[in-house]
Structure 1
Amino acid sequence: MRRIVVKASIATVLSIAASLGLAMSIIPLLGGVVDGNAWLMTVLCPLLIAFPASAYQFWQHERLRTARDEIGRLHGELTRAHAALAQRARRDGMTGLLNRESFFGDASRLSAQDEGGALLVVDADHFKTINDRFGHPAGDAALLAITAAMKGVLRKGDLCGRIGGEEFAIYLPGTTDAETRVIAERLRAAVAAVRFEAPDGTQVPLSVSIGGARAGPGRNFEQVMTEADRLLYKAKRRGRDRVAFAGRVAQAA
């Protein structure tokens, strides 16, 4: 309000100055005399008209500016909320990893552009036993422990998603076969090193089986997924807690 009064006062002073200037230049040209009444009118009329008119105009301008600022603020909040919701829709609610649809979409696009990469399918071993013996909350805690162990191994730029109840998928961009085997083995070892305790205090060993397949340009991603899945079950059949990649099964140490 103070700013409006100051602006209106300045506008009024300028109006009075303009009115005085016109009176002093025009009235003599018309043969009149600028007397007391003329002086009074040149000051009083701008004062009575210019101040309220300019004050109202500046008030309206302030209202519009405030409204624009508020609209801008709300638009920013809506944009951030929309982005947060969109990001949340891409994530698995429990682990925070990419959900199945988002992972396959991102990995498929990345593999089509990548000069060389690999897909790993990771499955928690004997997970049904944990759920049946200790309950689903313990199973959820085990999945979170597995997720944390894998995150500690993965590099920046690697994609990781939860694609089933206890099944995960990882896309490793720009890796050779040798690098892929090393990362897969580190994932397996990191999970095996977890010391997981059930609610009753029982120490429950955790392990994962991993199947991997080469991805990249010219390879259909669905076929890559099928191959990785086939190798996963090969690792399962060989005793679990193993990595199977390109026809080779690496046993747990």
Structure 2
Amino acid sequence: MYKILGKALAVGALSTLASLLISFAFVPLMGGKVAGAGLVMTIVCPIAISIPASFAHFYQSGKLRAANAALAETKDKLAAAYDRLQQQARRDALTGVLNRTAFLAELDARSDAGVRGGLLFLDLDHFKSVNDRFGHAAGDEALSLVGALLCELASQDDLVGRLGGEEFAVFLHEATPERMLDHSQTIREAVKAVDLRTPAGVRIALGVSIGAFHCPPRFDPLEALAASDRNLYRAKAMGRNMVVA
């Protein structure tokens, strides 16, 4: 407020100075004399008009700037909240990996871009027995740990998603068949090594069966998923906790 008043007084002073300069420049030319009541009016009028008007102007301008700043901040917050909601809508709430819809959309995008890679279809072995024996909380923790593990092992351009239940999928961006198989075995061994325990300290053994399929450029995402799913079924049929490509 003091800053606004100071600016208004400065405008008043400049207005008074301008009024005096004009009066002393032109009144004598018209045969008059700047004195007495005329001099008083030359000084008082600009002060009486400019200071209140300037104060009102600067006050309203300050409020407008504050309102614009608040609006811009609100806009930024809304944009950030929208981005968070967009990300949350793409993520599985339990594991943090892409949900089925987002994973399939990203897989379509990779296919359209002509990218090749390895597609892994994973299923936790005997997961129902984990829920039945140790409770759904233990099952949820197992899913969360596996999701985190898959993300940790993935590279920046790889995709990790949860397709539903205990089923996950990984797309290894531009991976060769050799890298696809090596990565699959790494995942299998890492899941087997997960140290998941009950509150009583009993270790819950985990295993994963993996069906792998190498996708050429311009692959059909649905056909690739079906192929990796068939390989997953073969891995289950052959004894589980293995990789079939």
Q: What TM-score comes out, normalization by structure 1 length?
A: 0.93
Question: How much does 1:198 deviate?
Answer: 2.3
SS of 1:142's partner is helix
> In the alignment, what sits opposite 1:248?
none
> In the alignment, what sits opposite 2:224?
224
SS of 2:26's partner is helix
> In the alignment, what sits opposite 1:242?
242
Question: How much does 1:152 deviate?
Answer: 2.8
In structure 2, the gaps of 5 or more residues are none
Q: Does 1:3 align with 2:3?
A: yes
The whole-number CA distance in structure 1 between the counterparts of 2:131 and 2:175 is 35
Superimposed CA distance per residue, residues 87-109 of structure 1 (whole angstroms, 9 cap, x where no aligned partner): 11110001111100001101221
> In the alignment, what sits opposite 2:59?
59
RMSD over aligned Cα, in angstroms?
1.2
The whole-number CA distance in structure 1 between the counterparts of 2:68 and 2:17 is 34
Question: How much does 1:115 deviate?
Answer: 3.7
Q: Does 1:193 align with 2:187?
A: no
Superimposed CA distance per residue, residues 89-145 of structure 1 (whole angstroms, 9 cap, x where no aligned partner): 110001111100001101221133244211111100000001111111111111122
SS of 1:96's partner is coil
Q: What TM-score comes out, normalization by structure 2 length?
A: 0.96
Aligned-partner residue type, residue 142 of structure 1:
A
What does 1:1-253 correspond to in 2, within 5 Å? 1-245=1-245
The whole-number CA distance in structure 2 between the counterparts of 1:159 and 1:46 is 72
Is the Cα–Cα contact under 8 Å of residues 130 and 138 in structure 1 kept in the other structure?
A: yes
Identity %: 40
The whole-number CA distance in structure 2 between the counterparts of 1:130 and 1:65 is 60
Question: How much does 1:204 deviate?
Answer: 1.7
The whole-number CA distance in structure 2 between the counterparts of 1:211 and 1:177 is 13
Question: How much does 1:151 deviate?
Answer: 2.6
The whole-number CA distance in structure 1 between the counterparts of 2:151 and 2:61 is 54
Question: How much does 1:22 deviate?
Answer: 1.4
The whole-number CA distance in structure 1 between the counterparts of 2:195 and 2:32 is 105
Superimposed CA distance per residue, residues 52-101 of structure 1 (whole angstroms, 9 cap, x where no aligned partner): 01110111111111111111010011110111111111100011111000
Q: More displaced, 193-202 or 132-141?
A: 193-202
> In the alignment, what sits opposite 1:250?
none
Question: How much does 1:37 deviate?
Answer: 2.0
SS of 2:164's partner is coil
